[in-house]
Chains A and B, each alone.
Chain A
Amino acid sequence: MTVAAKDLTKDYKYGFNDGDEFVFRATKGLTRETVIDISRRKNEPPWMLEFRLKALDHFRQRAMPSWGADLSGIDFDDIYYYVRPADEQGRTWEDVPEGIKRTFDRLGIPEAERKFLGGVSAQYESEVVYHSIRKDLEKLGVLFSDCDTGLRDHPEIFRKYFGTVIPANDNKFAALNSAVWSGGSFVYVPKGVRVEVPLQAYFRINTESMGQFERTLIIAEEGSFVHYIEGCTAPTYSRDSLHSAVVEIIAMPGATVRYTTIQNWSNNVYNLVTKRAIAKERASVFWIDGNLGSKVTMKYPSIYLMGEGAHGEVLSVAFAGDGQHQDAGAKIIHVAPNTTSNIVSKSVSKGTGRTSYRGHMKVYPKAHNVRSSVRCDALLLDESSRSDTYPYMDIEAEDVQIGHEASVSKVGDEQLFYLQARGISEAEATAMIVNGFIEPFVKELPMEYALELNRLIALQMEGSVG
């Protein structure tokens, strides 16, 4: 078993763990008592406990999804649902327990914070252990905290929006998250405020068999702008962990929200995430979603274009290595007229890796003059690699313009030869072709993340040839 775990770590540089780092850990398995205990430890108001318990009922009643990836390996009884890593949340890195701080150092978070971020949140297991926001943003009334703090310190805003975009009974994993959620981010941007530097949240799983259920709620008031970035890693273990987040975004009229994910889970993590945004009149929402790693990912960021002139984009990249399945996609619902959307999905499968694109596009009868374009491209690196596309369209309006293009290609012999003939090794040539393939995605990222992504891809590519 140890050997297997080591093998998995080969290409994954975040696979280290810190040993036991916690002050409290609930017993494994999910019971009513666990949920009550989590709520009590957090001193939550009664409505939240009620919300959690209802969600738990729903989770229990709801069957596992019969479509998508193979989830039969998940053992809900073999998971820690709540692990509290530290007593206090740090305001400076010195306040963070040494072992945990070292981990975030290794992940480069404090450095990134100094260089180009407006705020940082670092979640370890179930709780956010470090949090900061730049003073100038705070002065403008921007709120950025973990979700628990949002509930405690800003109950009026929080309760108004929490669970309105993704109700607890939306799907089995949203229900699970609603029952045991902890941590995540609460972001509130007041009217007209433009947050020009990104806010970043970093999610780290440390314990084996951990369940991480962060919850994120982003509210961008009229005419505001915010760019939120999340990154995720976990150690490599032989037992599986579960990451099941819920992210809700509300973009008020004229607001713009960019949500960027660079997920790089180790390949023993089931990553089952529900992400949904509501865009009001002339609002724009961008999901920029990079999925590397994990054992199985099921994630379909969605945007409900509720107000006239709203715009939504989902740009995603999925990279499935040996034994991994990235079942990702996008969902766009055009409810209002003159709304526009754009989906670009790029997937790369290597070895026995498998990618699936699952798209859902709906246009309501009253949504006149909708324009939408969908493009999904898959790149296969090996004979054993696999990719499937499941586009689903439900168009009830008449004057819509929808373009759909899909392609599946193999890394071409001619491209490889051309690069090699110029002195570039086969491995590097393959990485260049892959990086070129995902370039339309990468150029949407801030430079630091673009470099990081290229580096991660290069790591994944190592040993893929010769």
Chain B
Amino acid sequence: MSEAGVSTLEIRDLRVAVEGKEILSGVDLTVPKGEVHALMGPNGAGKTSLGYAVMGHPKYQVTGGDIIWAGQSVLGKPPEERSRLGLFLSLQYPTAIPGVTTTNFLRAALKGQGKELPAREFLKLIRSEVAALKMDQSFMSRYINDNFSGGEKKRMEIVQMAILKPEMAILDETDSGLDVDALRTVADGVNRVRGDGMGILIITHYQRILDYITPDRVHVMAAGRIIASGGSEVVAQIEESGYDPMLRQAGIEAEAAASAAV
């Protein structure tokens, strides 16, 4: 299942440090094409850092291991190249860029990916995707994420994913801050692209999104590494008894679960 190959994301013994401090201490995780995996774990476990490292955020220095996408290491490649190779990260806290309209942002992104469209087709596409996420058309002329509500930012991330059509997406708490209806809308959005054979890693704290998007596998991260993996039953366990039993089993003190709590 984890053979290296087309459109598989393989994270091997990954170590990541920020400003000299180790945050990920040997993460192993493989998400093959067409599968949906969930990544759970206590606050500060390193989930967001993993997403950043995969996408090439310059602050997250890889100090060991490898990130292999479609059979090729992406280490050392700038984020734009990783994006062009088909990787996508929906941010936990999407960044506002004042003065840059959503439309211009999306146009530049498509152009950056070499997927530029004629003006009319482009507008048609973004209009329909904005509508699909039940967002008002006025968002297209607003500055990207600037004064968007929390939920609006999350929807806009999914709009971007739908437009850019990556092959592998990491959704970092895209479900947090969404109301019930929005959650369903976002889940529908994800399920739509899932059908195209995309690989997806959903970082989440809650079962509710996984009720809509059934994961093929669930991983639990704590203290900068994966401490458990399994099927959907893992989610139920966590809902029922929290992380404590798993942490104990992995020999991690609850307080140390967040690697950098000190």
Contacts and interface: CB of A to CB of B under 8 A. Distances in A.
Interface of A: 412-415, 417-426, 428-429, 432-433, 435-440
Interface in B76-102: 78-80, 82-84, 88-89, 91, 94-95, 97-100
Contact of B83 (A420, A435, A438): A420
Interface of B: 55-59, 78-80, 82-84, 88-89, 91, 94-95, 97-100, 104-105, 108-113, 143, 160, 164
Nearest to B80: A420
Contacts of A428: 108, 112
26 contacts: A413-B58, A413-B59, A417-B55, A417-B95, A419-B109, A420-B78, A420-B80, A421-B89, A421-B91, A422-B108, A422-B164, A423-B80, A423-B83, A423-B109, A423-B110, A424-B108, A424-B112, A426-B78, A428-B112, A432-B100, A436-B97, A436-B98, A436-B99, A437-B99, A438-B99, A439-B99
B94 A423 contact: no
B98 A432 contact: no
B94 A418 contact: yes
A42 to B, nearest CB: 46
Nearest to B112: A423
A421 B97 CA distance: 14
Contacts of A440: 99
Output the residue of A418, A432, A433 with the most chain B CB within 10 A: A418
Contacts of A421: 55-57, 79-80, 82-83, 88-89, 91
Output the residue of A417, A425, A432, A437 with the most chain B CB within 10 A: A417
Contacts of B113: 423
Nearest to B90: A421
A436 B164 contact: no
Nearest to B110: A423
B164 A423 contact: yes
Nearest to A439: B99
Nearest to B91: A418
A412 B96 CA distance: 11
Among all A-B residue pairs, the 10 with the closest Cβ atoms: A436-B99, A439-B99, A423-B112, A420-B79, A422-B109, A423-B83, A418-B95, A436-B100, A423-B113, A424-B112
A422 B112 CA distance: 8
A438 B99 CA distance: 7
B109 A435 contact: no
A137 B124 CA distance: 42
Contacts of B78: 420, 426
